[in-house]
Structure 1
Amino acid sequence: MFVRSGFVIAWLAMVFGAIRITIGLFVASIGDAAERAAAAAYRLGSRSSGEAIDQGIMVFVFGVALGLLAEIAKAVKQKQP
């Protein structure tokens, strides 16, 4: 039960982290600085697109780490009699 929920949470974290990174890169590509700042505040809820990209990377890495821990838990669970 907990292993399966670990996999689900890991996948969700990786997906949402990737989405935040993608939107952050999109906002970073906006040419005008005033439009970029407004888009970062409106679309990302961050002060800058770089901050949103950093947060997205942290969420994605958290998802990868949780996925690895879930894989380890699954292997340990299968070895128990």
Structure 2
Amino acid sequence: MFFTKLGRVIAWVLVILSGFRVVAAVSFAFTTGQNMAPRYFGSKTTGEVIDQGLLYLLIGVAVGIVAEISRSVAAKAEVIKQES
């Protein structure tokens, strides 16, 4: 149960932080020049930051799905255990 809860926390952190990073990179790309991106993001372009953010967002969703499956299986096992 510990890993399920930890997985859910990690999933939410990944989704929230990567979402903020993608939104910041998109807004930065439309408001300032590309030459300022390495100063704030540490990457060459805002496109790389957006790609990396979307990748982490998808990883967060995948971890969340696995955590939900784990929680569902644990709940089902608990019901079966109580019926016996």
TM-score, structure 1 length as denominator? 0.88
1:21 is aligned with what amino acid? V
C-alpha deviation, 1:4, in angstroms: 0.6
Query: How far does the alpha carbon of each residue in 1:5-49 deviate from its partner, in whole angstroms, 9 at most, with x for none?
Result: 100000000011101101110221135xxx4222x1011111000
Aligned length: 77
Question: Which has the greater radius of gyration?
Answer: 2
Deviations 1:27-78 (A, max 9, x none): 21135xxx4222x101111100000000000010111110000000001111
Following the alignment from structure 1 to structure 2, what is the Cα–Cα distance between the partners of residues 17 and 6?
16
Equivalent residue in structure 2 for 1:63, among 42, 54, 60: 60
Taking only the aligned residue pairs, the percentage that are identical comes to 34
1:47 corresponding residue in structure 2: 44
Judge conservation of contact 1:30–1:36 (CA < 8 Å) in 2: no
Aligned Cα RMSD in Å? 1.1
Partners of 1:53 and 1:26 lie apart in 2 by: 11
- Residue aligning to 1:14: 15
Moved over 3 A (4+): none
Q: TM-score, normalised by structure 2?
A: 0.85
Bigger proportion of residues as helix: 2
